[in-house]
Amino acid sequence: MALKTLVIIPAGEEKIWDWDTNLDKNRHVRAKDAYTGRLAERCREYCENFYEEDYVILSPRFGFLLPHEEIPDYSVKTFAESGLEYDTIEINAESDGLLNYERVVFLGSRKLHSEYIAVVSELFSDKWVEYPLLDAENTEAMLGRLIDAITRDSPLRFNRIKLEYIDIKGLFSTFNHKIPLENGEHISIVTAPNGYGKTTILRLLRAVFVGNIKEMRDIPFKSAEIGFYTEEENSTERRTLTIEKSQERPKGRKLPSGELWSLHFSTEYNKKRLEYTVNPDNYSKDETSWELSRIIPPIPVKFISAQRLWQNMELGDRSEDDLLTSHIPGAKRTYELTILNHSDDIKKRIQAMLNDYAASTQQLDATYPTRYLKLCYKLAEGFPPPAEGIIQSLSKIRAEQKKLKKLGFLSHEPAKGEIFEIDEDEIKDETGILAALTLYIEDTEKKYLIFSDLEKKIDLLIKIINALFLNLSFEIRADKGFYFMFGDSEQIKPEKLSSGEQNQLVMYYDLIFFTDPGTLVLIDEPEISLHIVWQRQYLDYIKKITDITGSEFIIATHSPQLIHTNWDYTVDLSEGQIVND
């Protein structure tokens, strides 16, 4: 079941009146058509792709705008400049029914949209608000994430909430386990002999954060307390989530079908306590999802079991009983060899970035003459850029072009001597040349930023796989996807790899490319299908993945080879408390 989600888009500065000179400034235009910047257009495409009409535009001039609401042109760019009061925005939101949504998402970054975030966080202070683009440094980084999400057909998630501990009592009516999960390295390892509940704890964590009541009901435990915290710029906010389970009949209640169970959820923050009890008498998906969405933090979770080679293309690891995550009803169970699916996926992602790169190039080229003349006049008046800095920037661009060419993003890189063999003395007093090179550098750096996130991920995957597969050379190509070579000439199809090799490629691709920032990744016995050498390298690669994805890992294992030198990350369940009857 999908939560009722409201997506909020920040109004852009570029508007239709800026480029359509024939359009009267007082002519009213639909809000969805009024904002014409690349970011505004991609945000709208993202919303219409995943949330249909459940989105609004937040404007510093008008407050919240429904997509079909008509507005005239305006000049103000900030809330401070417009003087729009918070009370007016709140009344606006209430009258449009925006406060009735279960989940709120804002598509803006902390660096570029701090005013918007302040308004959204205050207005929806009683809800968990998600900011999937919060840490983006620039518009191009935001565009890259939106394009990637649209291409992979999966909404963005970004989690700032970190788990601190989980305290489970009465597991299997036998064990009490308290597991610290915060060690500064984003990796926690749960270890014990079979029978102590390693896998069950992972299942319980997944069930909680996707709101799977059936799974929580079926797992044998008495209570669970989960501690978590959120770090803001100047403070740390801590909360606890408590789940108490009962198999006894509540007094005065007659439960249907002889079922005797209830789950009580509670959390407390800002001196407010939220709680909800679900049992067979009151269980309904709509009501329960609404109540749980207020209590359970929106932590995206990924559970990776031992069987990774084949996947359900429509459902993945989702279930109809997951109340706090999207679900495709009635999807047919279609299976495909995952390695081929991933190979096709990377081709689509690269092509999507190339399409946007081409659009950006066209846009910059169209404005180049005007920008060039303005810069020439400016440089002629004084303060020309240092020639030394120009040469250094050109050298960095050359190095970046080589990387992008190797990864298949660029079909052409300038030959040596085309523009990069330039002497400082030849250009330092040439205003026209300095202006041309300055704009070339600015435009090129801006265009290449769209590739930044995907480039880092591809580069990491290539390094990991080439380190693991000693007799094969692995590349990713825009036209072929996964490309393996044996020796200098023999191409190996990905599906012809051994099952162990396929398992490794599938697992690492999934962790790098299908894991959003801050996702809680639960991995059960990853040592399966790993020989000893691969096990010893495993956590080193996981650390590299956390560096670029910001994910949190909880790994269940009983392999000392996999733990290797990382015993500081481990919690041994066999040292836990035994329940006394």
Identify the top-confidence range among 404-413, 487-496, 500-509: 500-509
Question: Given pLDDT bands bounded at 50, 70 and 90, which one contains residue 251?
Answer: low
Show the tokens assigned to 87: 């009370």
**What's the sign of the alpha-carbon dihedral 170, 172, 174, 175?**
negative
Residue where one domain finishes, among candidates 452, 476, 500: 452
Which of 364-368, 465-469, 573-577 shows the lowest per-residue confidence on average (mean pLDDT)?
573-577
In a domain, 117, yes or no: yes
Within this chain, do residues 308 and 180 fall inside the same structural domain, yes or no? yes
Q: Which residues contact 138 (CB under 8 A, 6 or more apart)?
A: 111, 112, 449
pLDDT at residue 440, as a whole number: 94
Question: Given pLDDT bands bounded at 50, 70 and 90, which one contains residue 163?
Answer: very high
Per-residue pLDDT tens digits for 475-493: 998 888 999 988 777 788 8
pLDDT at residue 271, as a whole number: 74
| Residues 578 and 174 sit within 8 Å (Cβ to Cβ) | yes
What is the residue-averaged pLDDT of the chain?
Answer: 86
Regarding predicted confidence, which is higher, 310 or 130?
Answer: 130
Within this chain, do residues 144 and 211 fall inside the same structural domain, yes or no? no
Residue where one domain finishes, among candidates 402, 418, 452: 452
Per-residue pLDDT tens digits for 317-362: 556 778 886 433 333 333 345 899 999 999 999 999 999 999 889 9
- Whole-angstrom distance, CA of residue 189 vs CA of residue 207: 19
Q: Tell how far CA 385 is from the center of its chain.
A: 38
Per-residue pLDDT tens digits for 533-543: 899 999 999 99
Show the 3-state SS of 512-557. Answer: HHCCCCCCEEEEECCCCCCCHHHHHHHHHHHHHHHHHHCCEEEEEE
Q: C-alpha angle 503/507/512, rounded to 5°?
A: 150
Mean pLDDT of 66-93: 92
Residue where one domain finishes, among candidates 152, 182, 206: 152
In a domain, 508, yes or no: no
In a domain, 280, yes or no: yes
Within this chain, do residues 129 and 177 fall inside the same structural domain, yes or no? no
Question: Given pLDDT bands bounded at 50, 70 and 90, which one contains residue 233?
Answer: low
pLDDT at residue 415, as a whole number: 56
Within this chain, do residues 384 and 244 fall inside the same structural domain, yes or no? no
Show the 3-state SS of 268-283. Answer: EECCEEEEEEECCCCC
Within this chain, do residues 224 and 114 fall inside the same structural domain, yes or no? no
Integer CA distances (angstroms), 358 to 326, 364, 409, 507, in order: 33, 10, 11, 32
**pTM of the predicted protein model:** 0.84
Tell me the residue range of the domain where 94 lies: 5-152
**What's the sign of the alpha-carbon dihedral 377, 380, 385, 388?**
positive
Mean pLDDT of 76-103: 91
SS3 state at 392: helix
Within this chain, do residues 317 and 177 fall inside the same structural domain, yes or no? yes
Within this chain, do residues 302 and 215 fall inside the same structural domain, yes or no? yes
Integer CA distances (angstroms), 165 to 140, 205, 550, in order: 36, 11, 18
In a domain, 424, yes or no: yes
Q: Structural domain tally of the chain?
A: 3
Q: Which residues contact 284 (CB under 8 A, 6 or more apart)?
A: none
Within this chain, do residues 133 and 76 fall inside the same structural domain, yes or no? yes
pLDDT at residue 263, as a whole number: 94
Q: Provide the angle, in degrees to the nearest 10, between the axes of the packed helices 338-380 and 431-448.
A: 160
Q: Which residues contact 47 (CB under 8 A, 6 or more apart)?
A: 7, 9, 54, 55, 107
Question: What is the DSSP annotation of 271-320?
Answer: TEEEEEEE-TTT--HHHHHHHHHHHS----EEEE-S--SEEETTTTT--T
CATH number at residue 300: 3.40.50
In a domain, 471, yes or no: no
Within this chain, do residues 287 and 194 fall inside the same structural domain, yes or no? yes
- Whole-angstrom distance, CA of residue 479 vs CA of residue 360: 21
pLDDT at residue 418, as a whole number: 56
Show the tokens assigned to 37: 């910047």
Show the tokens assigned to 80: 């401070």
| Residues 512 and 461 sit within 8 Å (Cβ to Cβ) | yes
| Residues 179 and 201 sit within 8 Å (Cβ to Cβ) | yes
In a domain, 511, yes or no: no
Does residue 62 register a pLDDT over 90?
Answer: yes
pLDDT at residue 221, as a whole number: 95
Q: Which residue has the tokens 């007082």?
A: 26
Per-residue pLDDT tens digits for 100-134: 998 899 999 999 999 999 999 999 988 889 999 99
In a domain, 80, yes or no: yes
Within this chain, do residues 126 and 184 fall inside the same structural domain, yes or no? no
Within this chain, do residues 221 and 323 fall inside the same structural domain, yes or no? yes
The CA-based dihedral angle spanning residues 301, 306, 310, 316, taken in that order and rounded to the nearest 10 degrees: -20
Q: How many residues does the chain have?
A: 581
Share of the chain above pLDDT 70, in %: 90
Within this chain, do residues 206 and 263 fall inside the same structural domain, yes or no? yes
In a domain, 505, yes or no: no
